[in-house]
Structure formats: C-alpha cells, structure tokens
Structure 1
Amino acid sequence: MIYLLIIGRRKPNKGNGENIITKELKLKEFKKVKQSIYIEKRLEIIFELTSEEKNYWLTGIPFKFHEDIIVLSNKKQSVNKYKPTYYEDNFKNRYTQFKIENEYGAKDLSSFMNDVKKPVLSLIKKWLTKHNAIKVNLCVIGTYEKDRIMNSPEIESKYLQTTNYEIFLKSNMDEIYINMKDKILYEHERVSDNLRGSNWVLQSIDILNIAINKYDPIRGSTYIRTPDKIAKKKSTVNLIYTYLEIIRKEYENILNEVKIEYPMAVCKIPGFVGNVNKKNLNEGGLSINVYHHDEFYKINPLSVTKNEKRVHIDLLLLKNEDNTHYILIKKLWSLIRNQITKDHKKRYLCGMCLNSFQTELKLSNHKNYCQSNKVARITLPYKNKFIRFKNYNHKMKVPFVIYADFESIITQINYKKEKEKYSTIKIQKHIAISFVYFIVRDHDHLTGLYRGAAHNRCNLNYKVPKFIPVFFYNFSGYDSHLLVRELGNDTDNIDLIPNNEENYISFSKKIQYSTKNIELRFLDSYKFLSNSLSELAKSLKLCNFKILKKWFQKKVPGNLTELQKVYLFRLLTKKLAFPYDYMNSVDKYKEIKLPPKKSFYNLLNNKHISDDEYHYATEIWKYFNIKNLKEFNMLYNIIDVILLADIMEYFREKSLKTYGLDPAWYYTTPGFAWDCMLKTTEQNIELLTDIDMLLMFERAKRGGLSQCLNRYSEANNKYMGKKFNENKESTYIQYLDANNLYGDAMSKHLPYGRFKWVKPIYFNANIILKMKDNQKKGYLFEVDLIYPKELHTKHNDLPYCPENIIDNQKLPKLFTTLYDKNNYVIHYSNLQQALRAGLRLKKIHRVIEFRQSDWMKIYIDKNTELRQMATNYFDIQFYKTMNNSVFGRTMMDVRKH
C-alpha cells in the first residue's frame, strides 16, 4: 500500500501562529489519481478525494498549499511489492524475459531503480542457482514527450537499455546493479539532453524489462591442432592438454582451498589470477592475457589485464566448430607483426588495442589512455587516406521504389486476466488483414535513351542498383513485426540492421529470380522524415500530390461536378480517420454503414477523433459510394500508401534538386546528409593514422552537462510598476535564445588534414592568446590549468572547462567544476577563452597541429539560406535536419558502430 503524506498550513487566526497539520491518505482511497496530479498540479488533489476525505479537507480547514510541502511518504511503502513476472521465451528457451510494471506510479527514474533493486537481484540469484553463468540486461521503457512548433506535442516510447552483463555465482551483485542503474540513467540523460536539441521530457516510467540469457562462457578444453597459418610463425606452443592446467598445477599448493572450475572459461581467468595473487603476495604476482583469432587468422584481444605482473603469460584460444583450446604464446610480437607492419624492426606492443610503438616510453604513455577503453583491436588506415565523396552512382535516381503498408484486425486481449497472469501490458493482438504496395518507376533509366552528357567518373559509376527499396511508414516500430517472421520461412538470405532488440533500421531479403538475385531492402520512411503522415501531408501543396492526382483521375466517380471533384481531392490529401479498435473481427468488414464517431476511439492513445475528422470520413464514404467496411478499409489502405509515395517522391525530388543525390540509396538521414555534405564541399578529409592522436581527439569529445543550476530569478526594477521594491537592489532578467547552434559550430574553421605532433616548448600562454580563429593552422592541446580561488565566486554558476568525472559511479558524467585541470584536452580557441577569463596555464603536455578552414560552411550556409526561404513546414524541417544530422554523424562513436 502506498501512502501519500500531505502537509498543509492552516491560515493563521488572529493572535495565533501557523499550525502545521498532517494526514496520511491511502492511495486506494483516491479516485483517478496519477502521480503527475499531485506532483505538478497540487491543488487538484483536493478534488480527487473520496467524498468522505473531500469533506474532511474542505470543511472548516482552509488550506493554502505550498510548492514544497507535498511529499511521498516511504515509511509504509513496501518496495518489495514490485514483482518480476515471466513474460516470454525466445530462441529455443535460451532467452527469457521478465517484466516489472511501474504500478505505483513512480516518476523519478533513480528512485524507481532503487525500489526494484531487491526483486531484480532476487530473480538473478534464483536463475544463478539453476545456471552457473548467465547474461542479464535491463531495459526501462518510458514515455517521453516533446513540444513541436506548429503542432501538438510528440509522444514516443524510448528504450533505456544496458548492455549484457556476464554474471556468475561469485559476482558482486550490488556492484553490477549499480553499473546497470548508472547506464540507464546515462541513457535517460542522453535522450533528454536539451543541449543536443532533443527536448524529450520523461512523462512516465512504464516497464522495467529484465532479459536473462543462458550463457556458456568460452573455455579452453579439448586439444586442437594449431592452424598452419599460425604454426608457421613459430610463436606458440601447443600441448595435448591445455596450458591453463599447467598454470593450475604450478600454483596448486596455494590454491588447494579454492574451487577451480575446469575447463576454465575466459571470463573466469581474472578471478583465478586474483586468487593466485591473494595467496601469493610475496612472489610478484601473476597476470594472464587471452587472445583469439578470427576467420582470417588475425589475432584479436579477448581478455587483457591492465597491470602486468612479474609472471606474465599470453594465451591464444584456438577454436573449431566443436571445441576450444588454450595454447601458449611465446612471442606475441612475432605472432601478430605481419598484421600490423611490414618492416622487421623491434616494436613495443599494446595488448589492449594491438598497436605498436617504437619506444617503451611511448607505449607506457599510450597505455595511460588506452586502458580507459574496452579491449579491442583498433585498425587504423594507412597514411594518406582520405574521406571524400565517392558515391557518384547515387546521383542516379533509383529506378524502382516500392511504397507499402499493412492494415490489421486488432483483437482485444483480456488484459485484466493477462495482467493477473503475466503482469504485462499486452492489450491487443494485430493480425494483418490487407496490404497495398505501389511501385514508382523512373522511366528514363532502362530505356537506353540519351539523357545528357556525363564525365567518365559518373559514367563508369552509373550502374543500376541490385536492390529495390521498399518503404513503409513506421516500418521499424510496426510493419517489420508483421513481416520478419514470415520472411524466414525459406532458404533465401535475410540481412538485418538492428536498432535494438525490438526495432530494425532495415532488413534485406534476397530473392532468386532467373539467374540473378534481387534484393528487397525494407526501409522506414520515418528514419528520413520524422513526422506523422498526416502532418507531412498537411505541409505539401496540392500540386505536390502527383501520384494521388493520377489515381484520383481514374477512380473519381463520374457523376460528380468539377467543384465536387476538387472538394473530394482536397479531402483525400488529409489522412483519413480509421476505427482501428472497432475492427476486431472479419465480420465487421461486412457492415454497410460507417460506424459512429465513438467507434473511432483509439484505446492505445486514449483519444477520440475530432468532429472534422469524422465528417471527412463520412464524405469519403458518400462520394465514393462505399458499400461496406471492407471497401472502406481498402480505400484507407490505398490512400495511405499513395500519400506516403507522394511525400517520399517530393522528398526525393527536393533532395536531387538541392544536392544531386537520391536518398533512396541510403538507410537513414545521417548517412544521406553526410554524403550530401561531402559532395557539396568537395573536401578531402585526411584520416588519423596515429593511435595516440585518435585517443587524444576522443578525449576532447565530452557530451552533455550534468549539473544543478538556480533556475529561478526574480527581477526588481523601475519598469515593474507597483511590484518594484525600492528598498531592494535593482535586478533585471534577460532572455537569450541562440538559433542554429550546430550550424554555427560547423561553419567555423575545422580540421581537415596534415595532422602532426608539435613540441610543447614552442608554445606559452601569450603565443596561444595571439592565435586567430581563422588562421590556416589549428591546434589541440593537452594541458594543466590552475583555477584561481579568486575566480570561484564569479564563475560559480557556469565554470569553464567541464570534465568527465567518475564520482562514486562507473559511468563518467560531465561536470563543471572549479577544480584545477590536469591533462585536459582542449581546442586552442576554447583554451583562449579560459585564459582570458582568468584561468592560468600551468603546463603543456602535448600538442597536435592540423590544417583548418571553414570547409563545411558552404554546405551549412546553403541549408540555412534555403530554410529561411522555405514556404512550408516540410522544407523548414528538412533543411534543419540536413544540418543537424551531419553534426550527429561527426560525433558517431566508431567503437560502437
């Protein structure tokens, strides 16, 4: 039972002071109370009480409520009431899901994660008694809302998901849960980061999803013969029994009290080594690294220690279809030299990323930063490698594009019984009942007719694509779930690009036709145009509905006047209303009348249609002489697809006219916008070939701020009339709003090549302050800065040089602090700003020099100018997105994508 503690203040009587009265009310005594009511609309809570409670509060006890005196009482709330409930099994019972519903209406994500900790860990421990090892990930599903210009707020479910955590019987459960919680909070901050322009606000925490995977850790066991490509390097020793068994016997005397699982999994090796070092403190310690090979016999790190001990051992895990086997690596450098360099000079190797260095000192310096990343082989490009526009064939319009849509019968599930049984929010089952597809063909490409002159590079690259794009609106969230199960029922290949466990960015189905394979590439139009279909249709002019016009001319009833035809055509350009929830059986399709307005109620969105929307539907029914709901369903399905086709074809035409590229070649807007930028700027961007330069640039990328600010300020000045208090200091409030922040940043001088290390002795504070923003050479510094105490009060609201700090948490958060900065990586223009504000330069550790120019400005200015000249909402958003998407692409973490 949840109790609500209401604290109010009685209005003071004459001669009496204020008396505080409190009362605890059981939540079940309230009617229609949601947490948002008593958190945000506090006065409304009075009117949500039962009549008995209402009388108590409203008769004889006049209250004035204050902002901070209504709180939830946790004294009687039992968080153990949260119970994980079985949801489903997948992949032959290897993957099991449980869910915890937010039935108590918690609003604060951190508090909710604290409340569910005990039941989650109890569930994990229960599964560990059945399986010695499992993988677990958590996913909070929350409803977010953001305001949109000229439109109603956009509402969307967001998935805040952790990675899979490997958990064993001896794992530190509390530490793992803290990591999971921090990751979810980090994802929430990333989603709702206003500085990045998302503006998503958490409205409700819906469900915590707990996914448990059976886990069979990689372990070395049966003997495997060393592959010839590895054996010929003479850098390994392969014994009939695994080399770990030799190590175990070596330390058998000190480990007789420790239970050792054999064969040993890779993930258990750090624990084994830790036990050895605890029992053997005086011998300098043991450390073990494990590597494995890919299908091309290139070596990759698998488990690498950050602190090599006196006795250090490198193992290679061999594998075939059935078994795995550990062998000893005698000389790691000899084993992997050919995959790193062609020369035969002695180099020093980093086991974390498998990059090499000429001196031991350089390796030591590199490890300081490399070890903060996950273990992975990092392959850098060779020298003189550039990013430039190469996709000249994308200037050609894709000759065939398909637009499609499904409609479904929506059968209701008895979700009350479902809730009692599964504690889930399944309320409907969608069964496909109809589909429509529309093929758009570019007639010029396949006729062989002369189209115009083209230079050799374009001519050689102009090839008909081997795929056909198939666009659905909201394919990732809806139609893909109807398709994906059916597409796997034959031997033809399916290639998936997942977004998360629930959604796909795209999947492709290869179908053999005659002697050739044709690829159907299923795509989501929402990944390009992130607005509802009705809003997109509203933003187009009548002349843009070219496909609808052709269809209308064939299908329009012949008995209509010209005025009626124009009226009907205008109605069709608006997205029709459809009674989704009403259509719950095939029998409904036989009905010969349009259902009443109340039948158009949408259960999922808890929304009725407007009178105008219902009027449009009745007019369509009347003018098209529709005989039953089956015909109405098909007309609705057809119009939806034609609207989608017209909108996407307008988008393609706009893109080809503006940038000379067809978006139908791409999967999402960021990839398309990146190519448009490269083509427009004609800039060659040099790639980094030095691992330490890459790490230093990565450290300069920091993310969004995490901080608490005073968000309330009160003005007091002579312009405020009667509210002005002459006895107080005059204060003013000024509201500033900067537009096009991303565009402005990308219009400045940016690096493009000739990256090199420069000696720090050539720089000091005076030299740095004299540098110009638009000079040909730019610099990235690693410095120590002193934050003088006399600046602390002045800079307290927004200090300079924010830094990622891990403060009692595993995930870094970007804080603005008044601490001195050590080994801080900063662009020279930001360093100038800090120095001018009074920070002092203590030391320069490293400097990267590069050539720079405002090479992206031509692309940014082009979109900004076109946006200013735009006459409809579609174009305004289109050009804004084409700029912002390029920024997102530049910030893409290549370690994850």
Structure 2
Amino acid sequence: MNQQDQASSTQVTSATSVSSRQAAKRSRANNSAVRSKRLRMQLTDTHDFTEIDSALDRGAVWFYRKNVENFASYRDFLRAVKPELVVRLAEIVGNRPIKYNLKLEASYHIPRSEAPPEDRAFKTRARALLSDTDIGCAVDEDFEVMLAEEDVYSGRGSGFTLSHIDGIMLSVYKYTPLAGSSYIPIPSEINNRKAIINPQNIDQSCFKWSILSRHVKGDHKYRVDRKYFNEEHRYNFTGLTFLTPVSQIKIFERQNPNVSVNVYGLERDDVKMKWLVYPLRVADQEQQNHFDLLYIGDSVKSHYAYISDFSKLVRKQKTRHQGRIYTCKRCFTCFDDRPKKHILRGQQALEQHKLICGKNKPILPVMPAEGSKVEFEAWVKTQRLPFVIYADFEALLEKTDDRMGAYTRTVHTHHPMSYGFMVKTSDDVPSTIP
C-alpha cells in the first residue's frame, strides 16, 4: 500500500470513528431520555402537579401531571389541567420571582408499521413570573405555543400519528430579576464617547432619574438635585418598585401613553479588549416619547443610565466610518450616507431594514473566533424520519457585466435548465398505500 492509499485509509477510519462516537452519544442520550420518562410515568398517578425532582438546593424543581384521564385531545387535556397549573404557579411565585417552562409529552406511531412508538415533546421557552404577572394569561399563551408546535409537526408529513398523550412537565427555576439601584461609574472607554448621562443617585430610584435626566437642562446633569425633582411631574411612576427590575418597565409604558423604553447591557470582550453594548429589552415599536437606557452592574448592585446618543455609543463596535451612521437598535446593523450606486443609504436604508428586522428577537451578532469549529451536539432533540428527498437544479450560465454598487460586479446570470429529485425511504415504508 502506498502513502496516498495509507492516508486515504486513515481518513476513512477517522471519519468512521467520529461517526461511531456520534452515534453512540446519540444513542446514550436517547436511552437516558426514555428512562427518565418511564420513571416519571411510574412516580405520579394523581390529578395534580406532583413534585418529581429538584436540584441546586431547590434552585430548580420539576413537577409532573400525568394524563390519568386518558384524554385523546391535546386541547381537552390542557383545558383540564390549567386550573391546577395556575394554582401551583401562584403558590410558588407568592414566595419569590421564578422562571418556568412547560413540556407536553406524548407518544407517536406509524400506522400499519411494526416499529415501536416514538416519544415526542412540545416545549415552551422559559418565562419570568413575578407577583404582578397575570398567570392565567401567561399559561394560555404557553399552551398556544405548544399546540402550534404540534400542528407544525403533524402537518409536515412525518407519517406519525398520535398514539397517547402522556402528560405535562412543569419546570421551575430560581430567578433574580435585573433591577437598578444606586450610582455605579461607567467605564471610562464608554464615558469618553459622550453618549451617556449617568445620574449619581444615592437612593434606589436610578430608573426614574435616568428617565428624567433627558429633561434636565444646564451643566452637571449627573447631579440628582432640585433640577431632577422639578421634572418628576412629567411621568407616572406609580406601581414601580425601587429597585426597578427590567420586567416592570412594561408597567411604566402602560401608565404613560406614547412612551417606549429600550434597555441595553454592557460586557467586556477580553479578546478584542473593548466594551460591547448589547440589547436586553427592545420595545416592539418606538413611540413618540422614546428612551434608550444602559443597564450596568455586577453581582452586588446594578444601575440605569440614560443613552443620549445611541449612534455615538455603538459606533466603534460596528464601523470605522467617522461620519453620521443610522443604527438598528435591535441587531446593531448600521448604515451611512456615503453614496452607493443602486443601494439605499442613510435613514432610508434603515427604515427599509426595519421592515425585516422589526419582527425578530433583538440580538448582538457575534462572529465565531478564527479557527473555531461548530459541532451539532443536541442529538437527543433529533428524530429519524421515514424518508428523505434529494433535489437539484441545473442551470446555464450567461456572462454579464452588471454592477451592484461601487464594489460588486455580477459575472454570470443563472438560467434554470432542468431539475431532478430522488425519494429515499426506510425499508419498512410501503412503496404503495393499499
């Protein structure tokens, strides 16, 4: 065997080894999930949410409600368990703020197949629950999320049919809401951007002072004195606690028509040795009277400050351009007024971008480090399907010399010429349906 054959053989062996390890890892995860579910089904057999496990000194607690009535409809089952769930959550949140999520478990099978039933779960994201939260409304929203997920699963042609609704799991987690307190200095790198007004309060009302700071005139705006007290009539702050958690900002918005508030966090990038601003809370729609606040702090205390110029604050982490920029407050995409052929620019480009970005969750895009690799590890969340479809287009390439802006040139235009597809099924899937 020559060196090339040996190298090829080594690569094949390595790939096979990696594939085997991944398959073994996926198998262990699936077996663990099956064992955990069987244990849950044995532990509880009551018409109530029963505690089945806890961890981290009860920082995480799990409850389970089995489908002891054997409901065949998801909506009937959820309708029956809602009062019990609301009562259980009310008992827990009466002592402390929490986060919780729900997981609806069931079994599915393929008709006219000897394959064993497969477990399937429909889950919600963790939701914060405070003493003033409408628990019934929150539960209804979570139920609709799980039902919508099940509708998508049933309607995408998986071939599986509902066999049995097993039950619903309630996971409860200890939660400490973000809340502002007394004055905290802003890092000098951020302060030098001249984009922040940071009230130097000695009480716990920094949220209120950061809002009012926009209306304070004259020098020394950071001093919380009579200039601030004279502006307190502008907004209704009743119903807020001081410390004010981020979750209570919606109360402030409801009590003050035409007011909206965004909140941004601050973290240190130790690789690039600079501070990065990122979104914590972004209003669905900016109102006529809009505020951007910076939330800073540590494990001991936290603090709000008013962002007087958002573009100045984030410019250095997005671009080296020194002119005016227009920044999306949800994803930090920025635009400028430099002329670009056939491309929108400035405020017009930002408004066009908002039509797409406005419905998305606010994020701070972070590119992976050079040389890093991304590996899929959530094998327990995967499910084998009975068929797969491979499809491909063939196209003719027509040469062109069109330009898109100052730096982009189109080389070819693709004209579809033909297509093909192949359907590959599992051995136990019949080729025809009787």
Give the TM-score category using the shorter length: 0.5 to 0.7
194 and 217 in structure 1: CA distance in 2 versus 1, 3 angstrom threshold: same
Aligned residue among 290, 313, 325 for 2:263: 290
The superposition leaves residues 301-343 of structure 1 with CA deviations (integer Å, 9 ceiling, x where unpaired) of: 1111233233322111112343322122121101111222221
1:83 and 1:145 map into 2 onto residues whose CA distance is: 28
| Cross-structure match for 1:112 | 77
| Cross-structure match for 2:41 | none
Task: Indicate whether 1:97 and 2:62 are aligned.
Answer: yes
Checking the alignment, whether the CA contact within 8 Å between 2:101 and 2:170 is kept in structure 1 is yes
Checking the alignment, whether the CA contact within 8 Å between 2:239 and 2:251 is kept in structure 1 is no
Mapping of residues 521-560 of structure 1, within 5 Å: none
The superposition leaves residues 839-864 of structure 1 with CA deviations (integer Å, 9 ceiling, x where unpaired) of: xxxxxxxxxxxx5768997xx77xx7
Give the number of equivalent residue pairs: 337
| Cross-structure match for 2:248 | 268
338 and 856 in structure 1: CA distance in 2 versus 1, 3 angstrom threshold: farther
| Cross-structure match for 2:341 | none
Aligned residue among 136, 146, 151 for 1:184: 146
| Cross-structure match for 2:107 | 143
129 and 253 in structure 1: CA distance in 2 versus 1, 3 angstrom threshold: farther
191 and 225 in structure 1: CA distance in 2 versus 1, 3 angstrom threshold: same
| Cross-structure match for 1:155 | 117
243 and 314 in structure 1: CA distance in 2 versus 1, 3 angstrom threshold: farther
| Bigger share in helix | 1
1:349 and 1:369 map into 2 onto residues whose CA distance is: 14
1:261 is displaced (CA, Å) by 0.7
1:748 is displaced (CA, Å) by 6.1
377 and 251 in structure 1: CA distance in 2 versus 1, 3 angstrom threshold: same
Equivalent AA in structure 1 for residue 87 of structure 2 = S
Aligned residue among 348, 359, 364 for 1:377: 364
| Cross-structure match for 2:180 | 220
322 and 202 in structure 1: CA distance in 2 versus 1, 3 angstrom threshold: same
Q: Give the SS at the match of 2:286.
A: coil
Checking the alignment, whether the CA contact within 8 Å between 2:236 and 2:252 is kept in structure 1 is no
Equivalent AA in structure 1 for residue 357 of structure 2 = C
2:126 and 2:234 map into 1 onto residues whose CA distance is: 36
| Cross-structure match for 1:363 | 350
Aligned residue among 140, 157, 170 for 1:210: 170
The superposition leaves residues 817-855 of structure 1 with CA deviations (integer Å, 9 ceiling, x where unpaired) of: xxxxxxxxxxxxxxxxxxxxxxxxxxxxxxxxxx57689
Aligned residue among 742, 765, 768 for 2:389: 742
Equivalent AA in structure 1 for residue 66 of structure 2 = E
Tell me the TM-score normalized by structure 1: 0.34
| Cross-structure match for 1:338 | 316
Equivalent AA in structure 2 for residue 232 of structure 1 = N
When Rg is computed on C-alpha atoms for both structures, the one with the higher figure is 1
Mapping of residues 778-797 of structure 1, within 5 Å: none
Checking the alignment, whether the CA contact within 8 Å between 1:94 and 1:214 is kept in structure 2 is yes
2:54 and 2:305 map into 1 onto residues whose CA distance is: 37
322 and 497 in structure 1: CA distance in 2 versus 1, 3 angstrom threshold: farther
Task: Indicate whether 1:255 and 2:236 are aligned.
Answer: yes
229 and 87 in structure 1: CA distance in 2 versus 1, 3 angstrom threshold: same
Equivalent AA in structure 1 for residue 149 of structure 2 = E
Checking the alignment, whether the CA contact within 8 Å between 2:100 and 2:172 is kept in structure 1 is yes
Aligned Cα RMSD in Å?
4.0
Mapping of residues 179-578 of structure 1, within 5 Å: 179-195=141-157, 198-241=158-201, 243-246=206-209, 247=211, 250-251=231-232, 255=236, 258-277=238-257, 285-296=258-269, 297-357=275-335, 358-378=345-365, 499=378
1:187 and 1:757 map into 2 onto residues whose CA distance is: 43
192 and 750 in structure 1: CA distance in 2 versus 1, 3 angstrom threshold: farther
266 and 497 in structure 1: CA distance in 2 versus 1, 3 angstrom threshold: farther
Unaligned runs of 5+ in 1: 1-80, 278-284, 382-389, 395-495, 506-526, 532-738, 759-775, 778-850, 877-897
The superposition leaves residues 184-238 of structure 1 with CA deviations (integer Å, 9 ceiling, x where unpaired) of: 112212333343xx22211111111111222211112243221233223222222
Checking the alignment, whether the CA contact within 8 Å between 1:147 and 1:153 is kept in structure 2 is no
Larger RCO, structures 1/2 (Cα 8 Å, 6+ apart): 2
1:243 is displaced (CA, Å) by 4.0
Checking the alignment, whether the CA contact within 8 Å between 2:98 and 2:129 is kept in structure 1 is yes
328 and 194 in structure 1: CA distance in 2 versus 1, 3 angstrom threshold: closer
Q: Give the SS at the match of 2:114.
A: strand
Checking the alignment, whether the CA contact within 8 Å between 1:355 and 1:378 is kept in structure 2 is no
1:855 and 1:294 map into 2 onto residues whose CA distance is: 51
Checking the alignment, whether the CA contact within 8 Å between 1:300 and 1:377 is kept in structure 2 is yes
318 and 330 in structure 1: CA distance in 2 versus 1, 3 angstrom threshold: same
Q: Give the SS at the match of 2:390.
A: helix
1:302 and 1:856 map into 2 onto residues whose CA distance is: 46
1:147 is displaced (CA, Å) by 5.2
Task: Indicate whether 1:86 and 2:51 are aligned.
Answer: yes
